[in-house]
Structure 1
Amino acid sequence: MNRRSFFQSVGTLIGAIALLPVVGRAEGRRGGSTAAAAGPQLVDPKDRQALSVNYVELNTTLKDKALQNPRSGVQFKDQKCKACAFYQHDKETSAAGKKAAPCQMPFAGGKMVSAEGWCSSWAKKA
């Protein structure tokens, strides 16, 4: 590669990089990605991060009896995401036919958790 072709390649690369933000904004104006169009998504209980906190979409389906103990004076049957300090009630909506809202815990990754769900990070709402 000679000097002239090197600088032509670098110039083309810089031009392409400069156009990336413009293309991204155009995608947003068109309606965004198909994932955004699908509406709110629930956390997949089989996801690796969800498994690490024992997340289930329905607290009655938790199989590990050792985790089903009272916390902060709340019996396990009443420990649901909707009664958790990390559940964002003000953003509650419907996702996959279930009441759901975003969770502030990192495992949720911007997705919704089921109002009837549970995870080992459950904390009594103040």
Structure 2
Amino acid sequence: MQSRRSFLIKSVGVVSALAVARTAFAAAAKIEEKDPAAVALGYAADASKMDKAKHPKYAAGQSCSNCQFYQGKATDAFAPCPMLGGKQVSGKGWCNVYAKKA
């Protein structure tokens, strides 16, 4: 009986640890352009389609992938951005808080 009880207790611990790890490492949701935070920052998923009249701070060649806030590799299609609540942004995107990566 003792070995069965030990097994069950250990199993519950392992399953709980796996559930917590899965939640902790789950990918953040991709932000949509209609999200209120995205609208507030002028986020667009494709910087090549930016309206210069509406977003005068935008300059050709700027994109999330070469911004200091982009938390991924420059080659990643999507990565989290702390400016947008840690949600995934497109590497080809752009927003008003763009700051060139050093």
TM range (shorter): 0.5 to 0.7
**What are the superposed Cα offsets for residues 83-111 of structure 1, whole Å, 9 maximum, x if unpaired?**
11111125975xxxxx0111121xx2221
Which residue of the other structure, out of 45, 51, 54, is the alignment partner of 1:57? Answer: 45
1-side partners of 2:80 and 2:74: how far apart?
Answer: 7
Classify the secondary structure of the residue corresponding to 1:118: coil
| 8 Å contact from structure 2 (residues 66, 74) kept in 1 | no
Q: Report the AA paired with residue 103 of structure 1.
A: C
Residues 111, 91 of structure 1: alpha-carbon distance in 2 compared, 3 angstrom cutoff:
farther
Q: Report the AA paired with residue 50 of structure 1.
A: A
TM-score (norm 2): 0.66
Classify the secondary structure of the residue corresponding to 2:78: strand
| Aligned residues between the structures | 86
2-side partners of 1:44 and 1:62: how far apart?
Answer: 15
Which residue of the other structure, out of 90, 97, 101, is the alignment partner of 1:121? Answer: 97
TM-score (norm 1): 0.55
Partner of 2:35: 47
Classify the secondary structure of the residue corresponding to 1:77: coil
Q: Which has the higher helix share?
A: 1
Structure 2 gaps, min length 5: 1-15
1-side partners of 2:99 and 2:60: how far apart?
Answer: 14
Structure 1 gaps, min length 5: 1-24, 71-75, 94-98
| Aligned-residue RMSD, C-alpha | 2.9
How much identity, in percent, do the aligned residues show? 34
Q: Which is higher, the Rg of structure 1 or of structure 2?
A: 1
